[in-house]
Structures are given as structure tokens and as C-alpha cells.
Structure 1
Amino acid sequence: MSGVEILDNGTQVLTAPRATFGTDALLLGRFAQPRRAERALDLCSGCGIISLLWHDAGHRGFCTALELDPDASALCVQAVAENGIDHIAPVQGDLRTFCAAGPEQGRYDFAACNPPYFTAGPQSPDPVRAAARHTVTCTTEDVAQCARRALRDGGRFVLCQRPDQLVEVLCALRAARLEPKRLAFVRQRAGSTPWLFLVEAQKGRKPGLKLEPDILIESGAARYGK
């Protein structure tokens, strides 16, 4: 059964039991955003929460919302239609082959990805849930290489992940010519252990990483709606 969530400025997000969104998606969508007219790419878009959050915040450039699961992508299609949005294009497809060749390469100014988090451990018997949580169809390297192909030189890419994968993520970004520029840790409250990090990288730029202040959930960083 579908549900409806309303963002700060009235944009509707449609969800379903196997296509919801969490705090991490809200934090990612707010940590860095495309400028108003920039061409944007939302990788692992799910129900479209990040694309719709950008729209709610004022983004009006063309945006591709790429999602492997057809049911989740269909929710994004429905949400775009019901909100009367004409600049978000939901695409059901695999980021491992997206922008693999041709004119799509280097066309985007900004990209983001809320990827699967787990590389090991028990997996759900439901293949959709397993793909959403485990790196079965989407590794860190897959994500970084897709962003590299899609972004123009100087384009920005933002990603969230668990802290135990920080080294892997930074190495994968650099290997894809995506230089990490901003990094922030997410904590429930000051002094608690970080449970997430957010990183922004830029394609083809020189080294220089800025550590940002911690993002605290108890301060309201993930709240939304009227």
C-alpha cells in the first residue's frame, strides 16, 4: 500500500513498503544540492526522495532519477506526475551501464547517491530488499565510476555511507578522479559515535579536503514537513 510524505514546501513523495526513505536520504539531499539550473543525476533514487527534495528546495534544472527496481521507479514516475513536475525524468536502469558510451558522458553538473551499505552479513530472502541493503548489484566502485562517466570536468558528486567504509569510499572516489572536498560525520547527539558520513567530491580537481562540523540528528537535521 502506498503512502504519502509531504516535504517542507509541499512536494509529495510517494512510498511503499519496499520503497521508503530514511534519515540518511534527507541528510544526503541537504548536505549538497545542485544549483537552480544545473543538470543533476540522482543515482539509486528509489522512490525519488532526493530528486523531489531538490525540487522542493528550488532546483529546476533537468534531473535524471536512476533506479534499478522497476516498482520504486514507478513510484517516482507517479510522484513526478502528481506534483506536476516537468524537469525530473525517472529512469529504470542499472548504474553499472549508465553513461557507458556516447553523448550522455560528461553531461551532468551534479550527482548524488545513497548506495547499499552492507558488503557482508545476512541478506533478506527478498531480492529487492537485498539489493537495496547489500552491494549485490552496486559496489562503491560501481557508483564512483558511474559518477565519473556522467559528470563534466569540475562536476560535483555527493555520497553517504557507514563510517566503517570511509577508507574504501575515499579510495574509490580518487581512483575515479573524483577528489574528496568536504566530509561530515552524522551523530545522534554531541559525543555519540558517528553512524554515517557524507562526502562531496569534485571531478578532476586538486586535493584539499575540508572536515565540516558534525551533523546532529537531535538538532533537527532530518526534520521535514509543515
Structure 2
Amino acid sequence: MLSEIKGLSVEQIGGVKLHISAVHRFGTDAFLLADFAAPRHKDTVCDLCSGCGIVAAVMYERFRPKSIEAVEIDREGYELMTLTAESSALENFKPVCGDLKDWRAERELDLITCNPPYKRDGAGIKSAGEVALGARHEVLCSFSDVCKAAARSLKYGGRLCVCNRPERLCDMMCDMRAAGIEPKRMRFVSKNSDSAPWLVLLEGRKGGSPFLQTEKNFYTQTADGGISPELAAVYGQG
């Protein structure tokens, strides 16, 4: 019920009216992941751990792939995505309420994206609230679960694009390989050249051969602390 969604509001993402709430919001990492994944027009795409649907919405607006499915376990997140799809008249955009551990696409996909929980269960101070806890800690799914779900539904050569904290990089690569997805492309994100990376973007290919391309660092700020031209372009301001 809409009356039960606290803090309901709308963010305009180009022509998409993205519905968000007090617990389902988004950050810069969502835009960076969508830009890194960069689906082609002919691609069939799914976003896992979709939350309010921000990654799927940005990919829809910027790249217009053939189809997008967005999977979220929390009912409120699913309802927000449904509102977004209906109010924006999105075509070939399918919100799904379900557990990715049980999910399988109806047909093999070209691309799967995921902005997963960053913290292992039992690591760090746990977030307040059930939804926030599930979004930030691996209590509902692990990164290994994400990779297994992707492996079930990607076509051979299909891509899995994810983001996470740099300290999780070894876990990410090991879990990808264990699921038959080979890490192929990586990019670190920092505020500037003097700061350590706060995010890593990683792409793997199902059935790919070992070879990892490391792209130049992405800087979000200019020398004077303003938004970098590259980040402005990711936001659609360039």
C-alpha cells in the first residue's frame, strides 16, 4: 500500500520517474555500476538486489537495452519499481519480487548487474532496521549466491558486472571463478589521485578465459573538490 511507504518521493532520472522511500534510496555507486556495465541495445539484462531499481532505471534511460528485469526480495522495493515502471510507461522493464537464490531467468541473458550487500554477515556494525540490514550485510544473500544466480541465467560469454568495497575484491574474484565466471575487467573509484579507492567495479564473463584488464582509475572530484567531468557525464550532466 502506498500509504505504508514512508518517505515516498520521486527522483527524475531523465525520462524515468524513479520512486524511492526512506529505506530504499541510492548513491553514486549505482550510477557508476550502470555506466560500467553499459548494455548494448540488443542485450537482455537483469539487475539483482535491485532495491528501488536505480541501476535498472539508469541503464534503461541511458542505454535502452532490449529488455530489463529487476529482482528485489523486499516487497516495498518491488512496489517502488512497479510504480516507476507504470508512471514512466517503461517498455520491456519487468520488476520481480523474489529471492535471487531461487531465481532463474526465463531465457539466457546477455548481462546481469548487481550492487550487492558490501559487508559479510558478522563484519562491522550492523545497520538499524531489517531492510537496511539486508541491503548492507550478507544476511539474505552472499556474494557467492549472486555469482551462482548469475551463472544459472547468463548465456555462455554473458557478463556479470558488480561493485563492492575494495577489501572484498579477493572474495569477489574467488566466488566468480567458483561459479564459472571469469573476472575480465576491473576499475577502481577514488575521490582523487591522492585518496585510496572506495569502490571497485568488476566484470566477469561466463566461461571466459583467464585475462584481467585493469582500467584507469575513476576520479569523482577535481583538484579543487568539485565534481569531475567524468562523474558529471555519468550523471548525465556532461
| TM-score (norm: length of structure 1) | 0.93
Shift of 1:105: 6.6
Percent identity (aligned): 37
Q: How many residues align?
A: 221
Q: Is 1:112 matched up with 2:113?
A: yes
* Preserved CA contact (<8 Å) 1:180 1:208: yes
2:12 aligned partner: 6
Distance in 2, matches of 1:58 and 1:2, equals 27
Matched, 1:208 2:214: no
Residue type at the aligned position of 2:182: E
Aligned to 1:159: 162
Q: Is the 8 A contact 1:186 1:194 kept in 2?
A: yes
CA contact (8 A) 2:73 2:98 kept: yes
Coordinate RMSD, CA, aligned = 1.4
Aligned amino acid, residue 191 of structure 1:
D
CA shift at 1:225, angstroms?
5.5
Deviation for aligned residue 1:220: 4.3
Q: Aligned equivalents of 2:91 and 2:154: distance in 1? A: 22
Aligned to 1:172: 175
Are residues 53 and 76 of structure 1, via their aligned partners in 2, closer, same or farther at CA, if it must alter by over 3 Å?
A: same
Q: Please report how far the alpha carbon of residue 106 of structure 1 lies from its aligned counterpart in structure 2 after TM superposition.
A: 5.8
Report the CA distance shift for 1:73/1:220 in structure 2 as closer, same or farther (over 3 A): farther
The alpha carbon displacement at 1:121 in A equals 1.9
Distance (Å, rounded) in 1 between the aligned partners of 2:107 and 2:170: 26
Cα distance in 1 for partners of 2:84, 2:231 equals: 21
- Of structures 1 and 2, the one scoring higher in RCO (CA 8 A, sep 6+) is 1
Q: Of the candidates 61, 69, 86, which is equivalent to residue 64 of structure 1?
A: 69
Alpha-carbon spacing, 1:98–1:181, altered in 2? closer, same or farther (3 Å): same
Q: Which residue of 1 aligns with 2:99?
A: 94
- Tell me, yes or no, if structure 1 residue 54 matches structure 2 residue 55: no
**TM-score, length of structure 2 as denominator length:** 0.89
- Amino acid of the structure 1 residue aligned with 2:32: L
